[in-house]
């Protein structure tokens, strides 16, 4: 039987961090619709995460809460997810914070604290979960996939969110380093770099003059959708996408072109 590009012959075991809403929810739904079993991670939004879990097609999905900014918390999340699913085949590092801190308007105390928060969640949690999941994939001996959620801001700059832009650039670099080191184990690692896309968290920004300016960033005259990003994540995690390992895939509607 010839399977569609995304579909696998058996259900994969997928961990999606930060899946309580927004892109994480869309990613979890995409994998579930593909026939995979999903561990829905959340940090503090348990009610939203349960809504994500309840919306997933199929069976065998699980809810896993925990603080990824703490290395012990990340280990606990990975361990409980692997136990509930029976292993890990795919990790999607989506959990992130993006809090404003323009330098000229931010006190040094707040600046230092916000940088620490962004590094702990956006970068170190991604690194730690990747280590934990990759070791399980290596022990399983069946290869695997890691897909990181980066950002267009890593390339064009984020003047009001500099720690976000910097940590997402680091996530891209981390993914490329892991792509080289994990390839001998059959583990492919790639990243996506979305531009602005619609979620409930940013819906208020899409009205009025600000919304018009955001849509005008792309020659398509619109913002992206979480479902479009999720579809790319699903492909990068698919069996046919091994040769994309090390890639950073721009998903910004031609709003920022790298050279």
Provide the annotated active-site residues.
151, 164, 168
The H or E element spanning position 224 is strand 224-225
Cα atoms in the 13 Å half-sphere on the side-chain side of 102: 4
Contacts of 21 (CB under 8 A, 6+ apart): 45, 48, 51, 52, 199, 200, 201
Determine how β-strand 197-198 pairs with β-strand 224-225.
parallel
Distance CA 31, CA 24 (A): 11
Task: Give the single-character DSSP code of 30.
Answer: H
- Residue 58 to residue 60: CA distance in whole angstroms: 7
**Beta strands of 9-168 (E only): which ranges?**
13-16, 37-42, 62-65, 90-93, 144-149
Edge-to-edge strands, sheet with 144-149? 62-65, 37-42, 13-16, 90-93, 144-149, 187-194, 248-251
Instruction: Yes or no: say if 194 and 252 are a contact pair by the CB < 8 Å rule.
Output: yes
Q: How far is CA 184 from CA 73, 147, 187, 259, in A?
A: 29, 17, 7, 30
């Amino acid at each position: 039987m010839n399977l569609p590009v995304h579909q696998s012959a058996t259900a994969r075991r997928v961990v999606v961090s930060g899946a309580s809403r927004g892109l994480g929810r869309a990613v979890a739904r995409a994998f579930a619709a593909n026939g995979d079993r999903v561990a829905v991670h959340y940090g503090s939004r348990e009610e939203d995460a349960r809504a994500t879990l309840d919306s997933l097609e199929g069976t065998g999905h699980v809810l896993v809460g925990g603080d990824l900014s703490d290395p012990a918390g990340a280990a606990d999340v990975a361990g409980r997810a692997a136990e509930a699913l029976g292993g890990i085949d795919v990790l999607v590092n989506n959990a992130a914070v993006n809090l404003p801190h323009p330098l000229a308007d931010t006190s040094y105390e707040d600046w230092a604290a916000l940088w620490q928060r962004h590094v702990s969640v956006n970068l170190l949690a991604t690194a730690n979960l990747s280590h934990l999941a990759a070791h399980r994939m290596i022990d399983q001996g069946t290869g695997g996939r890691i897909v990181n959620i980066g950002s267009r801001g890593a390339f064009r700059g984020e003047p009001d969110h500099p720690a976000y832009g910097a940590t997402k650039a680091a996530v891209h670099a981390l993914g490329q380093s892991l792509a080289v080191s994990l390839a001998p184990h059959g583990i492919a690692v790639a990243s996506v770099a979305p531009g602005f896309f619609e979620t409930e968290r940013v819906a208020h920004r899409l009205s009025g003059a600000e919304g018009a300016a955001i849509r005008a960033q792309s020659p398509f005259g619109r913002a992206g959708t979480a479902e479009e990003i999720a579809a790319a994540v699903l492909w990068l995690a698919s069996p046919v996408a091994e040769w994309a390992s090390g890639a950073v895939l721009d998903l910004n509607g031609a709003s920022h072109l790298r050279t």
